[in-house]
Amino acid sequence: MLLSLVLHMYSMCCVLPAAVLLGTAPTYVLAWGAWRLLSAFLPSRFYQAVDDRLYCIYQSMVLFFFENYTGVQILLYGDLPKNKENIIYLANHQSTVDWIVADILAIRQNALGHVRYVLKDGLKWLPLYGCYFSQHGGIYVKRSAKFNEKEMRKKLQSYINAGTPMYLVIFPEGTRYNPELTKVISASQTFAAQEGLPVLKHVLTPRIKATHVAFDSMKNYLDAIYDVTVAFEGTVDDKGQRKEAPSMAEFLCKECPKIHIHIDRIDKKDVPEEQVYMKRWLHERFEIKDKLLIEFYDSLDPERRNKFPGESVNSKLSLKKTLPSFLILSGLTAGMLMTEAGRKLYVKTWIYGTLIGCLWVSIKA
Q: Which CATH number characterizes residue 198's domain?
A: 3.40.1130
C-alpha dihedral sign at 82, 84, 85, 87: positive
What local confidence, expressed as pLDDT, does residue 142 receive? 85
Of 104, 99, 29, the residue nearest 248 (C-alpha): 99
CA dihedral 281, 84, 71, 335 (to 10 degrees): -130
Query: Is the model more confident about 57 or about 4?
Result: 57
pLDDT tens sequence across 94-116: 999 999 999 999 999 999 999 99
What local confidence, expressed as pLDDT, does residue 145 receive? 64
What local confidence, expressed as pLDDT, does residue 180 receive? 93
The gap from C-alpha 3 to its chain's centroid, in whole angstroms, comes to 35
Q: Is 321 a member of any domain? A: no
What local confidence, expressed as pLDDT, does residue 44 receive? 85
Which pTM does this prediction carry? 0.93
Could you give the maximum distance between any two Cα atoms of the chain, in Å? 65
Q: Is 200 a member of any domain? A: yes
Q: Is 97 a member of any domain? A: yes
Q: Is 330 a member of any domain? A: no
Q: Of the given ranges (46-50, 302-306, 351-355), which has the lowest mean pLDDT? A: 302-306
Q: Is 161 a member of any domain? A: yes
pLDDT tens sequence across 62-95: 999 999 999 999 999 998 898 899 999 999 999 9
Please enumerate in sequence order all residues whose Cβ is within 8 A of that of 51, keeping only pairs 6 or more positions apart, or say none.
Answer: 32, 35, 36, 113, 135, 136
What's the domain count of the chain? Answer: 1
Q: Is 327 a member of any domain? A: no
Q: Is 129 a member of any domain? A: yes
Q: Is 5 a member of any domain? A: no
Give the range of the structural domain holding residue 114, as residue numbers without chain letter: 70-315
Q: What are the DSSP E strand ranges found in the chain? A: 73-78, 87-91, 115-120, 139-141, 167-170, 224-232, 258-267, 312-315
Mean residue pLDDT of the chain comes to: 92
Query: Is the model more confident about 4 or about 360?
Result: 360
